[in-house]
Structure 1
């Protein structure tokens, strides 16, 4: 077991790759009442075309199957896994993203028992024709519910505009039509491919004894006799050269319009460390230009173009990156026009050096604050690992960022032909 000490943040991380390929990370946090564990597979909604180990032919599975599989994992022959966690005072949950699926629990006692439950249920699938068909109705209802949610509609509308039918633009839950095509056979194909320990990460954080926890995990995994698995062959289409649509519009029974806008870019040529640096630089530029303390934000607020729901984010992965700005607005067209003029102008003028330093200091403070939450540490570290990042490199990256780095990041990102808009308007 390797012990890594991060002097800048005074934290120690223990890690080991087990014989079956599972990467285990343990972070002791003395005197923390809560222990948090997450078990993550590098498998999300984008993974719809791949080669099942032991075969030669790529298969394509229905959209939404990763999320569907996540739901089904909580059902066992004996009943509901939540009951097992509740018996030992733990709260359990799971979530699916574009590139990962995570199963987790938090507890203040009985860590060993809950960890055993987590490992065992995730590594014991139980799919039948009956329980798969039953789940289709449940998830279809969930999809319809989110179709009526303006925040969900406007978000996926922006992804649709940017990426079209590329996997990056597909709703994580799929559609009512796509999940109707799911069978127990293709669920097992996905499970057997992506839920092998060599494609997974286990992270435990809390007031734990690392060697004892590692010994428990190793014993659990050794008893299951996993065979080595070859590298997974995934088929990912190239990012389309052009955006799918410059604008996507929908109407719902809401009182006020919502709008999101942003730019997309191809990040496939960047190394993981360069992507991590680019992402941090983008975050600082966006906060300087349109953060709540910025002149532009305050001007739009004073004009009534935005309210306090306005936010922004930058997201990247191995093939693309995209910025998102927006929220509620009284006039989507006017807000978008202001943005299309103001953002390139802000890039041309450049950000104020004092603003840059203050925003960088704020970002460093937010990172350090994250270390006080075991849930945030486990979730963020694991998801960053899936994306090829090391969370604990972030402090060094932030400290080393220059104002020129930030301006260069925006120069590569802000291209008018990659700008897209999504709006949800009230039904008139």
Structure 2
């Protein structure tokens, strides 16, 4: 078991890759009563075209299988996993993103029992055609719920503009048509490929003894048989700059128009771990300086009535994509979009980009980050999401501190380009 010290934030991580390939990360927090565990597979909604385990040809499965699997793993032949966690004094949940699926619990009692339950239910799939067909109606209702959410539709509208071929533009749960094509065989195929321990990690944080906890987990895994793991080959459609849809819109039952401006990353994400997280953090700092609530750009658009308190922006970066989006409710959607595009393209001349503002933004980001480290949930979720090789969440403060104005300008020149821009509107139904 490897012990990694982070003296600057007074944290110690214990980690080990087990014989079956599972990466286990333990973070003792002696002053906390609660323990939080999250079991994650590197498999999400975009991973629908791949070479299955022990096969040689690519297979494409219906959209929504990853999310469908998340639902079905909680259902066993003779028990309900949610009820079992509840009887053991734990709350449990799961979620699927574009690139990951995670199963989690939190409890103050029966921690070891709950950890074993987490490992056992995720590693013991049970699907029948009858139970799969029964689940389709439930997931179809969930899909419809999101289709009725204007903010969800706005976000996926800009994704469709960016990635008309890539599965990123498809709802994480799939569509009613795609889920009705899913079979138990599809679920088992994806499960055995992506739920192999070598493609997963287990993160436990709370009041725990790392030696005892690691021994418990290792003993549990040794009792199970897994075929040798292999590198998973995924395939995605080629997306070209010319494929970007510059503008699109829909009508929904909303009281005010909604607008979103997006900026797609066109260059490949840096392969070096430190360069990747430096690039990601530089873009986040850049956007905060340019469009945060204290910036002149924000105040100008607010005073002109182009945005209100609904205005938000986000930068997303993962395995095969990165993009930024800026959205708001507004009575002047086209004017807002034009102004956002203008501010982005002229950002190299922005008076906001000064050494002083960079220093202030870094200080604010570090403070928010350190404050978030008081939350077990935040640490558990962000640790795997922000893992870049040996660089982890706990290195972030040091990396933020090292970033300079020149890093921001380099990232800006690489990311903000006119050919990468797109816009999407939602108008009230006539």
Q: Contact 1:267 / 1:275 at 8 angstroms: preserved in 2?
A: no
Pair 1:388–1:146, CA change in 2 (3 A): farther
Q: Contact 2:261 / 2:421 at 8 angstroms: preserved in 1?
A: yes
Report the 3-state secondary structure (helix = DSSP H, G, I; strand = E; otherwise coil) of the residue aligned with 1:231.
Answer: coil
What pairs up with 1:11-410 in 2 under 5 angstroms? Answer: 11-268=11-268, 270-271=270-271, 272-349=273-350, 351-385=353-387, 390-410=392-412
Q: Could you tell me how far 1:388 is from its partner in structure 2?
A: 8.5
Per the alignment, residue 415 of structure 2 pairs with 413
Rounded to whole Å, the distance in 1 between the matches of 2:12 and 2:223 is 29
Pair 1:355–1:295, CA change in 2 (3 A): same
Instruction: Give deviations 1:197-239, integer Å, cap 9, x for gaps.
Output: 0100000001111111111100110001223212112222333
Q: Contact 2:62 / 2:179 at 8 angstroms: preserved in 1?
A: yes
Instruction: Give deviations 1:74-129, integer Å, cap 9, x for gaps.
Output: 10011310001001111100001111000000111111111011000000111111
Q: Please, which moves more after superposition, 186-195 or 308-317?
A: 308-317
Normalising by structure 1, we get a TM-score of 0.97
Q: Please, which moves more after superposition, 79-88 or 381-390?
A: 381-390
Pair 1:377–1:354, CA change in 2 (3 A): same
Normalising by structure 2, we get a TM-score of 0.97
Q: Contact 2:277 / 2:388 at 8 angstroms: preserved in 1?
A: no
Q: Please, which moves more after superposition, 325-334 or 94-103?
A: 325-334
Pair 1:267–1:387, CA change in 2 (3 A): farther
Pair 1:388–1:256, CA change in 2 (3 A): farther
Pair 1:252–1:371, CA change in 2 (3 A): same
Alpha-carbon RMSD: 1.4
Q: Contact 1:267 / 1:318 at 8 angstroms: preserved in 2?
A: no
Rounded to whole Å, the distance in 1 between the matches of 2:338 and 2:320 is 29
Rounded to whole Å, the distance in 2 between the matches of 1:308 and 1:387 is 38
